[in-house]
Amino acid sequence: MNEWLGLIGALAGTAIGGFVTYKVADQKHVFERAAENERRLIGACESIHGLLSDISSQASVLNMGVIGDLGYSSPLRGDILKEKVQLDRLRMLVDFYTPSLSVDVKAISDQFTIVSRAVAEVLLEKNRNDEWKSKTVKSAAFASIEITKLAQAAQEKLGQLVQGFLAKRFHHAQ
């Protein structure tokens, strides 16, 4: 009988030890997954913030190209932008990580379309009267200014989202 008790004790100890090891490993994996998701979210938010700045700057450069061509006879070059406009990447990141900014990014995209249309018209239009020039410069300038305002507002909202997330995480860690 004592041999059975020893065997049962050893088996029970092994089972309990295995269970404890499993639970510790499971908790570690849960923590690692949460930490990875957090790193991914923060990285995406940093990218969104940067893309908002880049797109706002690119709209300003295009607007200055329109003004330079139409107001100062400095021909607008088709390769005025040094980098590709990444509106699609911005939309994707926002859709995946911060959908509450989707309306802001849609508004930025709509305004960027206006600036792009003005650039295309400047590059293609042959009959450039003063009224057309004035209308084109105004539409590009107002859209560029609006993009800057929208991008700054979206960056502020993004900052609030990240701060809220970090505060919540810090609160849970305590």
Give the pLDDT score at 174.
Answer: 52
pTM of the shown model: 0.81
Q: Domain limits of the chain?
A: 2-173
Could you tell me if 102 and 92 are in contact, meaning their C-beta atoms sit under 8 angstroms apart? Answer: no
Q: Going residue by residue through the chain (174 aa), what tens digit of pLDDT does each one get?
A: 667 766 677 677 777 777 777 676 667 777 778 778 888 889 999 999 999 999 999 999 999 999 999 999 899 988 888 899 999 999 999 999 999 999 999 999 999 999 999 999 999 988 889 999 999 999 999 999 999 999 999 999 999 999 988 887 655 555
User: What is d(CA 157, CA 105) in angstroms, rounded to the nearest whole number?
Assistant: 12
Please give the pLDDT value at position 111: 98
CA distance 41 to 165: 10
- CB–CB of 105/55 below 8 Å? no
Fold of 2-173: Four Helix Bundle (Hemerythrin (Met), subunit A) (1.20.120)
Q: Is the distance from CB of 108 to CB of 154 less than 8 angstroms?
A: yes
pLDDT tens sequence across 74-85: 999 888 888 999
Find out whether 140 and 114 touch, Cβ atoms under 8 Å.
yes
CA distance 57 to 70: 20
Return all residues near 42 (Cβ < 8 A) that are at least 6 apart. 162
pLDDT per residue as tens digits for the range 87-105: 999 999 999 999 999 999 9
Residues in the chain: 174
Residue 147 tokens read as: 């993009």
Q: Would you list the DSSP string of 52-85?
A: HHHHHHHHHHHHHHHHHHHHH--PPPTT--SS--
Contact (CB, 8 A) for 91 and 109: yes
